[in-house]
């Protein structure tokens, strides 16, 4: 019986992603974000449960990636598609009305990133490329917390489109990024993780959900700087 517990939790992640996608397409972004966060919690605990119960399996690994494609790939793509749909309507013309479909590149590149992760033995204690949960949280919180005054700016949809391409590049890039995984909980060898967690907590306390719009780019920048110094 216990061998089914991790996969059940993973399926809860997948269902959360489906619900998040549904609400994102409806334009109910706050509710959609809630279910992405719920999915992220399930995503953390499925692996934790598998290790705790000692029931890790190949099917669990594959199911986890399939669930992540929905929750952290397709759901954020639905956010972007829905948001771009406000700017590119039928009145925009036969060609421009399809521009929001560019959002689904995020889903495709998230799938590629997860496929690479499953086969890449270098990613045991860190990541190569931007993790899909981080990318999903960035897009979801960006759209949820976007001020109405900024949404009215004519350049915003083009900035979102530019963001799509940057996001896709980062997902499958060869940039090493640190993970919040601990072999031990001592300060030594975990300095970067503890400082980043503390800084993130401060930003969340000050900015609330909007903090993730800053935390994710900060995570990328810190990873790049850390890589540069670690090679010296």
The answer to whether residues 33 and 144 touch, using CB atoms and an 8 Å cutoff, is yes
Determine the Cα–Cα distance for residues 55 and 5; give it in Å rounded to an integer.
Answer: 9
Confidence of residue 91 (pLDDT cuts 50, 70, 90): confident
- In the chain, what percentage of residues exceed pLDDT 70? 92
Q: Is 107 exposed, middle or buried (0-12, 13-18, 19+ CB in 10 A)?
A: buried
Pick the more confident residue, 66 or 121: 66
pLDDT digits (tens, 9 = 90+) for 164-214: 999 999 999 999 988 876 566 666 767 788 889 999 999 999 999 899 999
In CATH, 2-179 is 3.40.50.10490 = no
At 107 the pLDDT is 97
Q: Which residues pair with 178 in a beta bridge?
A: 126
Q: How confident is residue 142, by pLDDT bands cut at 50, 70 and 90?
A: very high
Q: DSSP of the chain, one letter per residue?
A: -GGGHHHHHHHHHHHHHHHHHHHHHHT-HHHHHHHHHHHHHHHHHHHHHHHHHT---HHHHHHHHHHHHIIIIIHHHHHHHHHHHTTS-GGG-TTGGGGGGGGHHHHHHHHHHHHHHHH-TT-SSEEES--HHHHHHHHHHHHHH--HHHHT-TTHHHHHHHHHHHHHHHHH---EEE----S--SSTT-HHHHHHHHHHHHHHHHHGGGHHHHHHHHHHHHHHHHHHHHT-
Q: How far is CA 228 from CA 78, 130, 147, 222, 231, in A?
A: 35, 17, 36, 10, 6
| pLDDT of the residue at 231 | 62
Q: In the structure, what pLDDT confidence band is assigned to residue 124 with cuts at 50, 70 and 90?
A: low
Contacts of 42 (CB under 8 A, 6+ apart): 9, 10, 12, 13, 16
Decide: pTM greater than 0.85. yes
Residues 7 and 56: their CA atoms lie apart, in Å, by 10
Kindly tell me if the per-residue pLDDT of 81 is higher than 80.
yes
pLDDT tens-digit readout, 4-60: 788 899 999 999 999 999 999 999 999 999 999 999 999 888 877 777 777 777 788
Q: Which of 8-12, 33-37, 85-89, 155-159 has the lowest mean pLDDT?
A: 85-89
Do the Cβ atoms of 176 and 227 come closer than 8 Å?
yes
For residues 78 and 66, what is the distance between their CA atoms, to the nearest angstrom?
17
CA distance 168 to 105: 7
């Amino acid at each position: 019986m216990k061998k089914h517990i991790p996969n059940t939790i993973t399926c809860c992640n997948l269902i959360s992603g489906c619900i998040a996608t549904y609400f994102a397409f409806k334009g109910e972004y706050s509710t959609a974000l809630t279910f992405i966060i719920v999915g992220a919690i399930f995503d953390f605990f499925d692996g934790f449960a598998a290790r705790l119960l000692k029931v890790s399996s190949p099917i669990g690994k594959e199911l986890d990636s399939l669930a992540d494609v929905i929750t952290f790939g397709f759901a954020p793509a639905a956010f972007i598609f829905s948001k771009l749909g406000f700017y590119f309507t039928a009145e925009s013309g036969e060609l421009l009305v399809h521009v929001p479909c560019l959002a689904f590149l995020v889903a495709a590149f998230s799938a590629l990133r997860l496929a690479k992760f499953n086969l890449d033995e270098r990613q045991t204690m860190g990541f190569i490329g931007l993790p899909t949960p981080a990318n999903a949280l960035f897009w979801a919180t960006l759209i949820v917390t976007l001020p109405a005054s900024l949404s009215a700016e004519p350049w915003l949809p083009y900035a979102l489109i530019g963001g799509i391409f940057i996001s896709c590049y980062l997902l499958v890039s060869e940039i090493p990024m640190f993970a919040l995984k601990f072999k031990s909980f001592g300060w030594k060898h975990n300095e970067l993780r503890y400082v980043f967690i503390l800084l993130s907590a401060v930003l969340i306390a000050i900015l609330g959900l909007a903090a993730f719009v800053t935390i994710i780019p900060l995570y990328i920048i810190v990873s790049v700087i850390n890589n540069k110094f670690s090679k010296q």
